[in-house]
Structure 1
Amino acid sequence: MDLVIVLRYRKAVTYGLHVLLGALEEHDTPTRYDVRFATTPEATAEEIEAALARAPRVLVLWSFYSPDAEALAAELATIRSKVDSPRVRHVAGGVHATAEPVQTLDAGWDVAAVGEGETTLLALVDAGGDPTGVPGLVYRDATGAVVKTGRPARLPLDTFRGFSLRWQRFNALEITRGCLYSCRFCQTPFMFSARFRHRSVHNVRWHVDQMRAKGLRDVRFITPTALSYGTDGEEPNLAAVEELLATCKEGIGPAGRVFFGSFPSEIRPEHVSREALRLVRKYCANTNIIVGAQSGSDRILDAAKRGHGVEEVKRAARLGIAEGFTINVDMIFGMPGEDPSDVEASLSLARELADLGARIHAHTFMPLPGTPWRDAPPGEVDPATISAVDRLSQRGSLYGHWRKQQDHASRLATAARQYPRPGRSRTLPILADPPGDL
């Protein structure tokens, strides 16, 4: 055995880890390796200790979002206090490591993986765990100097499997990576590039066939904007969407179900049309749809570069409800530059949508690393807004972790002040459960 790979396996980031395993299982490498899963800090320490007795090198793979970085750094310190060795390398990947690699190193990790992780992991395994010269990594050399090996290649999504057959790890299937809508609060377009890369219908069908053969019944998709499947621009390609949904429905069989435009993906409001909604109803099982609104103020939407206005949100909700769907609308409170009139506009929109029968999925603005608004003040929700939001919640018209996100936002802002972004340099952003990140 040359190498043992220990995955710090957390529910919040399983999609991305499964994609890496899917790439690894097809890779021909001279390195003899084993993969172990650790679901707790204690199990991670135990797996590392066992691996040191079996192999000369151990890689511990971590992936996390920015709000989780501080807690996981504390977990890493605990694990190192139990078992540590120069033969062990802790590698952090995902959206936070991509956006803040030096901060990640200073928090205790040995290596930060930047960008898409499939080719990086394969090269790292080929090298027996040695990061020297492997693209997509940031680490410190023996003198303490930061070494950056450059971005890894961005390959077509069909290049790698979307889940792992060898290790029997399945998940919603990533059908689109990257996003041309460069919203200033979102990490996705800045990490994966501001363009779409789609998995082909043929490749999607192969995955669905494998799922059915394994007895799985539900097909879900990971995509930043569901109705952008198959297009290179802003206009939906409904013929491509129908081809995708039809082959998935056929592939999963009469006992299976297809979900589209619901968790873990959403639909942009300007893409909602009767034709699109009827495609979802024809081929899919979901009776709810997630629509991204983010604000009830046209001024704030314009500042955030959302690419749509408030009227498109109202129209989408009305159409969706008329077609028999439950509409869940994402909204962010405490956006940068909000004044009282913007706050009231958002509350007014939330109340109007609730009266129509929609539900509001409430968030508090977080200055996420890698986004243009990284250095913006953390989102704060004033007492009057909290009261209004609570009333909607009591009606059953609003849900979400917006209170917890206020605390996350403050912590992110503190970290950003400790690691100021130099000049006006371009930054890298991040995705919700970022598939393909190491």
Structure 2
Amino acid sequence: MSAPELVLVLRYRKAVTYGLHVLLGALEQHATGTRYEVRFGETPEATAAHIRDAAPAAARVLVLWSFYSPDAESLARELAEIRGMADAPNVTHLAGGVHATAEPVQTLDAGWDIAAVGEGETTLLSLVDAVGDPTGIAGLAYRDATGTVIRTGRPQRQPLDDFRGFSLRWDRFNALEITRGCVFSCRFCQTPFMFSARFRHRSVTNVRWHVDQMRARGLRDVRFITPTALSYGSQTEEPNLDAVEELLASCKEGIGPNGRVFFGSFPSEIRPEHVSRQALRLVKKYCANNNIIVGAQSGSDRVLDAAKRGHGVEEVKRAARLGIEEGFRINVDMIFGMPGESEKDVADSLGLARDLADLGARIHAHTFMPLPGTPWRDAPPGDVDPETIREVDRLSQRGALYGHWQKQRDHAARLAAAAEAYPRPGRSRTILPQLPRNETPLAAD
């Protein structure tokens, strides 16, 4: 058998397996004249070993990385470590994902040879056809021989049905992406600004094909990836419960009597204004989960308006009450340290957290991070004052609060420093009118 022309080495980390599985799903359907091989680097040492083994015979070794913005700094150090263990002129390191899309020049300066910008399926297929040569391929940023950054634009967005949501050939499965993009465009979220501020849904027929494949391979749990679960089938801000029921009924039938369907729980969530008795009873009828994640984000209507969340605090309270009355354990996402918070805004958020905890809900706490690619990219990092920390700790000790909010404080500081090093023209760090800690805020614009 001839040696492969192209070897794809995946830096295969648990945090990003879903994205890599989607790329593999696209690749296994693709007819190409390139002889290629795929290898999985599950540690830096294994990745380096694959590079050393492949480089002497292959025309090119393309090392694929994917990561979120909080991991960018640590993975840049890992990249340097791997280059120190294994490198050659025909080895190219390519970074994809939301961070590389939002900050391609920063990504190149951190040591990667190429940044993939936008959705990666068609870009990877084109790279495979070209044996890894980036010239003329849409969706990339790289430097030419003179050091000039070449940007090739974003690839065309394709219907989700065009590509598989996981890989049969490489036996790599994951929660199934049923919606990409989001019409709500919250100012702190990367999703709508990478995938567009509209919904693209995988069809029920296509979802069912995936579920049938899972069942045939002995898999029994169906989970979904979506920015807002009850928006499935909708192109507006209103839920489409008929489409949701069609989806859930098909999945329940497809996975069989010994299988389970999970909806509105990890790794997705439900918007509070979408929670209704009808919706909750659909979940109860077809699904196995007894918990639901509700995205609240703040207990201040002023902050919610500034973040363009599209709902208020009352909708959050109502969603929690309805969910608990219908027998669900409610987990509520909240972000502390949002830009421009006043003392009253903080007090309102803590008050909401206590009220929800008294109802029986749990708070999933986060610290605001100024994520690249979002309108709040240039905001200051989340500032959680000592009294807030004490109150959060008290809720945690009650078992009413959990999350990695403390670690996110450190991530937020690093992201803010990186944003200062790569300023965007015309961007201000003043996001929401900052009020003195003892001043009552006016209504948001």
Structure-1-length-normalised TM-score: 0.96
> What is the aligned counterpart of 1:290 among 286, 290, 293?
293
> What is the aligned counterpart of 1:170 among 168, 173, 193?
173
Secondary structure of 2:142's aligned partner? strand
Measure the CA separation in 1 of the matches of 2:224 and 2:425.
37
Structure 2 residue 119 is the aligned partner of structure 1 residue 116: yes
2:416 maps to 413
Query: 1:424: Cα distance to partner?
Result: 5.2
Measure the CA separation in 2 of the matches of 1:116 and 1:423.
27
Structure 2 residue 78 is the aligned partner of structure 1 residue 75: yes
Query: 1:54: Cα distance to partner?
Result: 2.8
Measure the CA separation in 2 of the matches of 1:302 and 1:18.
37
Measure the CA separation in 1 of the matches of 2:21 and 2:194.
19
Measure the CA separation in 1 of the matches of 2:17 and 2:41.
12
2:242 maps to 239
The answer to whether the 8 Å contact 2:378/2:427 transfers is no
1:337 maps to 340
The answer to whether the 8 Å contact 2:356/2:362 transfers is yes
In structure 1, give the amino acid aligned to 2:320. Answer: A
What per-residue deviation string (whole Å, max 9, x for no partner) do you get for residues 104-135 of structure 1?
A: 00000000000000000000000000000010
What per-residue deviation string (whole Å, max 9, x for no partner) do you get for residues 253-304 of structure 1?
A: 0000000000000000000000000000000000000000000000000000
2:148 maps to 145
Secondary structure of 1:72's aligned partner? helix
1:257 maps to 260
| Aligned-pair Cα RMSD in Å | 0.8
> What is the aligned counterpart of 1:38 among 37, 41, 57?
41
Measure the CA separation in 2 of the matches of 1:424 and 1:132.
32
Secondary structure of 1:154's aligned partner? coil
Unaligned 5+ runs, structure 1: 426-438
User: Percent sequence identity over matched residues?
Assistant: 83
The answer to whether the 8 Å contact 2:12/2:42 transfers is yes
Measure the CA separation in 2 of the matches of 1:211 and 1:223.
19
> What is the aligned counterpart of 1:212 among 210, 215, 230?
215
Query: 1:53: Cα distance to partner?
Result: 2.6
Structure-2-length-normalised TM-score: 0.95
Matches within 5 A, 1:2-401: 2-401=5-404
1:422 maps to 425
1:428 maps to none
Secondary structure of 1:190's aligned partner? helix
Query: 1:86: Cα distance to partner?
Result: 1.6
Query: 1:56: Cα distance to partner?
Result: 1.5
In structure 1, give the amino acid aligned to 2:62. Answer: L
Unaligned 5+ runs, structure 2: 429-445
In structure 1, give the amino acid aligned to 2:222. Answer: V
Runs (4 or more) in structure 1 with deviation over 3 Å come to none
Higher relative contact order structure (alpha carbons within 8 Å, sequence separation ≥ 6): 1
Secondary structure of 2:132's aligned partner? coil
What per-residue deviation string (whole Å, max 9, x for no partner) do you get for residues 8-29 of structure 1?
A: 0000000000000000000000
What per-residue deviation string (whole Å, max 9, x for no partner) do you get for residues 189-224 of structure 1?
A: 000000000000000000000000000000000000
Measure the CA separation in 2 of the matches of 1:193 and 1:248.
27
In structure 2, give the amino acid aligned to 1:343. Answer: V
Secondary structure of 2:10's aligned partner? strand
